[in-house]
Amino acid sequence: MLIIENLTHVYGNGVRALDEVSLTIPRGMYGLLGPNGAGKSTLMRTIATLQAPTSGHIRFGDIDVLKTPELLRRTLGYLPQDFGVYPRVSAYDMLDHMAVLKGIAGAKERKDTVESLLNQVNLWTVRKKAIAGFSGGMRQRFGIAQALIGDPRLIIVDEPTAGLDPEERNRFLNLLAEIGENVVVILSTHIVEDVSDLCPAMAIICEGRIVKDGAPGDLVRQLKGRIWKKTIDKAELEAAKARHQVISTRLLAGRTVIHVESDQDPGDGFAPVEGGLEDVYFSTLSSTRRAA
């Protein structure tokens, strides 16, 4: 279990990227949702011991992460949003090199590790191909392979499906779900569907603060009967925003579909709609920004 308490990070320019963040993250897949600039990557880098926070505490099992970061690194797998590799090196040779860096010195153990990981992420048939020739999804699967070196108990993946086509996204998410059965996996993303498809527990971060957390199903049930939908002309949008608490808009066939949040029928031709995790996300961001 990963326990984060009152984690704050203020950059040198005064930007408060994290503001008293506290979370308890159990084994399994855990989703961290938030818009760009919300503090997700800062939190992931801090947990991964790549930067020290201004204040706060992090524990993983019996490891005090901030006091003994080297102990966490021995059991950590990390796939950042942008990870660098030598593009002309083959997938096999790159994984072999990374295994050496991770402390797997024995040639046979390293060979067994690399071959097992390449098969696990379905890259065995292209093991001799230069990484420069990989598709986006193949690169992400390679990224997971390198994150799994050394059998980590904590795995962090930051925006892993951004830019993937639907087929590669599904393949990658299935791989993550399989991995997440036995270890702590933190999935940091702004893609709501990734969390709803995979994670039994989640949190929403906005402006450096955790503004909601819980089981996705429980959070959706909290909105039951409060989400209303209407399709309007684009020219009517500003007037609708003035009259109602609009939480999301979407263009559809040249018209605008709006969702509003209200405890009672807002009138104006709105129809009730079964809320989903996307409505939870937009409702939370909307209320957070109004309170700011």
Question: What average pLDDT is seen over the chain?
Answer: 91
Q: Are residues 35 and 78 in the same domain?
A: yes
Is the residue at 74 inside a domain? Answer: yes
Q: Structure pTM?
A: 0.87
Q: Are residues 216 and 233 in the same domain?
A: no
Specify the CATH number for the domain of residue 165: 3.40.50.300
Q: Are residues 84 and 151 in the same domain?
A: yes
* pLDDT at residue number 164: 78
Residue 103 pLDDT grade (very low, low, confident, very high; cuts 50, 70, 90): confident
Q: Are residues 257 and 167 in the same domain?
A: no
pLDDT tens column, 124-167: 999 999 988 988 888 888 888 898 898 899 999 988 887 778 88
* pLDDT at residue number 292: 65
Computed over its alpha carbons, how large is the radius of gyration of the chain?
A: 21
Cross-strand pairs, 29: 185
Query: C-alpha angle with apex 47: 41 to 48, nearest 5 degrees?
Result: 85
Q: Are residues 211 and 261 in the same domain?
A: no
Q: Are residues 38 and 126 in the same domain?
A: yes
Instruction: Give the mean pLDDT of 74-102.
Output: 86
Q: Are residues 208 and 90 in the same domain?
A: yes
DSSP, residue by residue, 57-87? EEEETTEETTT-HHHHHTTEEEE-SS----T
Q: Are residues 174 and 67 in the same domain?
A: yes
Could you tell me what percent of the chain has a pLDDT over 70?
A: 98
Q: Are residues 87 and 195 in the same domain?
A: yes
* pLDDT at residue number 245: 95
Q: Which of 220, 239, 266 is the last residue of a domain?
A: 220
pLDDT tens column, 177-195: 888 888 999 999 888 988 9
Q: How many domains does the chain have?
A: 2
Q: Minimal CA–CA distance to 266: which of 239, 243, 242, 248?
A: 243
Is the residue at 270 inside a domain? Answer: yes
Q: Are residues 75 and 123 in the same domain?
A: yes
* pLDDT at residue number 203: 97
pLDDT at position 27 over 90: yes
| DSSP strand pairing (184-189 vs 154-158) | parallel
Q: Which of 180, 203, 220 is the last residue of a domain?
A: 220
Q: Are residues 246 and 179 in the same domain?
A: no
DSSP, residue by residue, 192-231? HHHHHHH-SEEEEEETTEEEEEE-HHHHHHTTTT-EEEEE
* pLDDT at residue number 281: 95
* pLDDT at residue number 84: 67
Tokens 């959070």 belong to residue: 219
Is the residue at 122 inside a domain? Answer: yes
Is the residue at 280 inside a domain? Answer: no
Is the residue at 148 inside a domain? Answer: yes
Is the residue at 50 inside a domain? Answer: yes
Structural domain of residue 258, as residue ranges? 225-274
Residue 134 sits at φ, ψ, to 5 deg, of -80, 145
Q: Are residues 62 and 163 in the same domain?
A: yes
